[in-house]
Structure 1
Amino acid sequence: MKKTTTKITKAASSSSRPAAARPARKAPAKKPAARTTSTKINATIDVGFGNTLYIRGEGPGLSWDRGLAMDCTADDQWTITISDAATPIVFKFLLNDTTWCAGNDYTVEPGGSTTVTPIF
């Protein structure tokens, strides 16, 4: 008769020390939000019922050829906010985008605010 032998293998011994912990992964650094510069231009003038104050000039969204309508916030208060200006904004007011105000061009620094009383 043939004799069969069985091999007995020992189970891997469990050690009492814990497995080495892997260093935690750092979350990717968040990019800071792009900072936008808002420049506010205000005009104090009553242009009369049915009229609108416009602005033309040099700066983001401005042109000397075609004006942007300003927002009327009170009977004699007009405002516009221009974003992302990197250089000083040069501008002038127009009544109904046809009649220029008197005097020289106005200038405001990026991120600044100015209030002007134009004369027509």
Structure 2
Amino acid sequence: MAEEKKAVKPKKATTAKAEAKPKAAAKPKTSVKKDAPVKKAAAKPAARKTKASPVNAELRYRMIEVAAYYLAEKDGFAGSPVEYWIAAELQFNK
């Protein structure tokens, strides 16, 4: 009988990178009490209050103009336009 040769697999060559990586150390186990109070998450900071954007002069004028017109219309246009304007400004400034 002829002797059979067993195929021998060559060992893989180790690289420098594989050797340079340190093995991770086992983390110590920490015991947790079951009755321990649960820490609450930190409270969110209060939302910032933003001021209403200032109305520019032209927009303010137009708003007062419309308000004065509706006041005059409600009164039947019987009064002075200046009085309606002043009343509208007082409503707008509240």
TM-score by length of 2: 0.28
Q: Comparing both chains, which one has the higher relative contact order based on Cα–Cα distances under 8 Å and sequence gaps of 6 or more?
A: 1
Larger-gyration structure (1/2): 2
More strand by share: 1
More helix by share: 2
TM-score by length of 1: 0.24
